[in-house]
Amino acid sequence: MSGLGGLNRSSSGVVIGMTQLQLPSITTPAELAQQTRRVCELVGKARRQNPAMDLVVFPEYCLHGLSMDTRDELMCRVDGPEVEQFRAACRKHAIWGCFSIMEYNPEGNPFNTGLIIDDQGGLRLHYRKLHPWVPVEPWAPGDLGIPVCDGPNGARLALIICHDGMFPEMARECAYKGAHVALRTAGYTAPIRHAWRITNQANAFCNLMATANVCLAGTDGTFNSMGEGSIVNFDGVPLVEGGNQPDEIITAEIRPDLIDEARHHWGVENNIYQLGHRGYVAVAGGAGDCPYTYMQDLVAGRYRLPWEDRVSVTDGTPCGFAPPPPAGDRSAG
């Protein structure tokens, strides 16, 4: 089904390459500039590796590594020089690209940001990670929702980042907004390996949506990232899985037309439709109410777990971060 990694591409297919980028160590603006050039070189590698490739995806932290350094001089802007180089690389090699930056935020902590750029260098999607990996990450929670964009060859694309994929609501929102493919970029390390695999597969199956997932790979001298890119079909079955070789680009072909066919014609296990049409065999059109207390409480601003008062880790102090300022006061960010 994957057409030998996209080498035998169909007219309806989208060939995606997931880059298991070598984990960098970035401590200075000069190193950030060098890493930007390195990522752009790998855009060229992707094009040379597979002339049929439509989209090359880089992991979270592809520029900044895992230091969690929030100094202003290391932060990027969407209209800054790093992103301009990404845009130029996509134009030069006539390929879509997905990239990661840590985005300067004048009102508080930086955002962990993902970008999708088309083959003409146009910015098509700007996403800020909704669920930073607390208590480890210092990034501000995203404020742009989960955007979806039209991608190559009729594919609708969404992007979520790392820990986002552990929340089934994230993948469901991608599919609910029409995405054929949810990209998931990550910097995870080996302890998360099992959860990474099963959530990538569950996110696909539960939403009749392909998922394309990739981590950094190799070591920076302190951390080891695991690589393990995967492209999972809409039935939850992996089309391709990577190991931990740094800078390897794994590829597969996704078929948006077959995803649409399943969404339109499946009866059994068309779960994203059935969520809003419960029991349609017994009730005309199915029940469309919301029986889920947690959803109702979250919307009403009263989300509270039965064990809320016993949760012991509720800020970043175990990982060396200062407590955040009081809600509404961002001056200390």
In the residue annotation, 92 being an active-site residue is answered as no
Q: Measure Cα distances from 251 to 23, 24, 114, 200, 219 in Å.
A: 20, 22, 20, 16, 23
Instruction: Name, in order, each residue with C-beta under 8 angstroms of 100's C-beta and a sequence gap of 6 or more.
Output: 58, 59, 60, 61, 62, 63, 64, 112, 113, 114, 115, 161, 185
Q: How far apart are CA 159 and CA 111, in angstroms?
A: 15
Q: Burial level of 220, CB count in 10 A (0-12/13-18/19+)?
A: middle
Active site residue 45: no
Residue 215 bears catalytic tag? no
Q: What whole-number distance in Å separates Cα of residue 9 and Cα of residue 108?
A: 45
Three-state DSSP class for residue 88: helix
Strand partners, 19: 249
Catalytic choice (76, 129, 215, 228): 129
Q: Catalytic: which of 40, 60, 62, 137?
A: 60
Which residue of the set 76, 90, 98, 162 is catalytic?
162
- List active site positions: 60, 129, 162
